[in-house]
């Protein structure tokens, strides 16, 4: 029951492919089929927040707190082809495992040949180097993802590297992000960042501007404690903080602000944003959409319904455009008037 003959799918993807039955809160729809390499021992890394880490109790595993059914790869790809009209993208997520490269290439080739869907691969730097990235690009993978997760070397060390006796390296990840940007080009690389694993707002701002400088996409996740992980008892970031970081990420990605527009407190907390009117952006709701790779038409494909929260809880990121009522709630939580300093535009 392991890759490449078998693969895990997220519960949302399993529902979309009709492997299991289920309904989505507020009629959300998953437009990306998320796949995850499957091995008995899962991952050789020991990231503090991950339920697949080798440090978890034997026999216990989880990923983003949902079930990931193990399915036959061939049948899964056949279903992707069958329901292609409702699918905007497919994404293969890798793990730190010696078989990951060849298994990913094998599965990617079959998806490209059989399903004819835009394909992303979320790689694991340290196993996937420049040569492996070029191999994926030549194969037809159009977007590459890198799960940096930590916003700074300090947090990376504490949660992913030496601080948890892990094999990963901040320098290797940053080098991979730079190489991926060169190989895949502008707007074809995504970088995942988790908010709430010990970083400061200043560190988040710094990594946002770095990702932007590489013309890569910023994809945010809100930390949610994973059962059996080393951070299982850690607290989630407040909704207010996550909303503000979402908004900050949007302003950076859209070139609306520069680092000089931001002011931080002694502990690195965001104190002030100096910007022109942002009412239109907020009212449109786009800063609060799930950050995900786009489909062939440019619309968001990887919208990950409920990836950072439970159905019934306030949406952390929206898998669809927020309604007017959602926008009112966002503004109430955001309290932007506390940190937004208008700038006088000189003509």
pLDDT at residue number 347: 45
d(CA 167, CA 106): 25
pLDDT of 239 above 90:
yes
d(CA 85, CA 71): 21
CATH, residue 28: 3.20.20.70
pLDDT of 60 above 80:
no
Q: Does residue 1 lie within any of the structural domains?
A: no
Q: What is the edge-to-edge ordering of all strands in the sheet holding 270-275? A: 262-264, 270-275, 340-342
Average confidence (pLDDT) over 186-212: 98
Q: Does residue 175 lie within any of the structural domains?
A: yes
Domain holding 214, by residue range, is 6-342
> What mean pLDDT value characterizes the chain?
92
**What are 290-345's pLDDT values in tens digits?**
999 999 888 889 998 877 788 788 999 999 999 999 999 999 999 999 999 866 55
d(CA 138, CA 133): 9
Among candidate residues 136, 70, 147, the one with its CA nearest the CA of residue 105: 136
- Number of folded domains in the chain? 1
Q: Does residue 55 lie within any of the structural domains?
A: yes
Out of 51-60, 88-97, 224-233, the most confident range is 88-97
Q: Does residue 347 lie within any of the structural domains?
A: no
Q: Does residue 166 lie within any of the structural domains?
A: yes
d(CA 71, CA 87): 18
Q: Does residue 164 lie within any of the structural domains?
A: yes
Omega of the bond leading into 115 within 30 degrees of 0 (cis):
no
Question: Parallel, antiparallel, or unpaired for β 340-342 and 143-149?
Answer: unpaired
- Within 8 A by CB and 6+ apart from 101, the residues are 127, 128, 132
pLDDT at residue number 223: 95
């Amino acid at each position: 029951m392991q890759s490449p003959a078998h693969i895990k799918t997220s519960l949302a993807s399993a529902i979309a492919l009709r492997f299991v039955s289920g309904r989505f809160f507020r009629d959300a729809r998953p437009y990306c089929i998320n796949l995850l390499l499957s091995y008995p021992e899962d991952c050789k890394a020991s990231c503090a927040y991950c339920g697949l880490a080798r440090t978890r109790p034997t026999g216990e595993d989880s990923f983003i707190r949902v079930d990931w059914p193990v399915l036959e790869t061939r049948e899964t790809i056949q279903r992707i082809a069958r329901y292609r009209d409702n699918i905007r993208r497919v994404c293969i997520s890798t793990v730190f495992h010696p078989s990951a490269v060849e298994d990913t290439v094998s599965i990617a080739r079959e998806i490209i040949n059989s399903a004819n869907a835009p394909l992303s691969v979320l790689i694991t730097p340290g196993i996937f180097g420049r040569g492996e990235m070029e191999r994926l690009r030549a194969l037809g993978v159009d977007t590459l993802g890198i799960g940096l997760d930590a916003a700074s070397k300090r947090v990376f060390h504490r949660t992913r590297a030496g601080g948890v006796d892990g094999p990963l390296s901040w320098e290797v990840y940053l080098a991979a992000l730079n190489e991926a940007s060169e190989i895949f080009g502008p707007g074809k690389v995504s970088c995942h960042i988790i908010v709430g694993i010990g970083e400061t707002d200043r560190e988040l701002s710094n990594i946002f501007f770095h990702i932007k400088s590489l013309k890569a996409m910023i994809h945010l996740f809100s930390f949610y404690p994973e059962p059996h992980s080393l951070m299982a008892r850690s607290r989630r970031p407040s909704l207010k903080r996550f909303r503000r970081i979402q908004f900050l990420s949007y302003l950076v990605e859209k070139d609306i602000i520069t680092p000089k527009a931001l002011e931080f407190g002694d502990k690195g907390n965001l104190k002030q944003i100096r910007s022109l009117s942002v009412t239109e952006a907020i009212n449109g709701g786009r800063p609060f959409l799930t950050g995900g790779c786009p489909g062939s038409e440019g619309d968001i494909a990887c919208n990950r319904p409920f990836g950072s929260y439970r159905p019934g809880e306030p949406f952390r990121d929206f898998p669809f455009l927020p309604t007017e009522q959602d926008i009112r709630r966002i503004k109430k939580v955001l309290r932007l008037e506390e940190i937004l300093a208008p700038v006088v535009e000189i003509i």
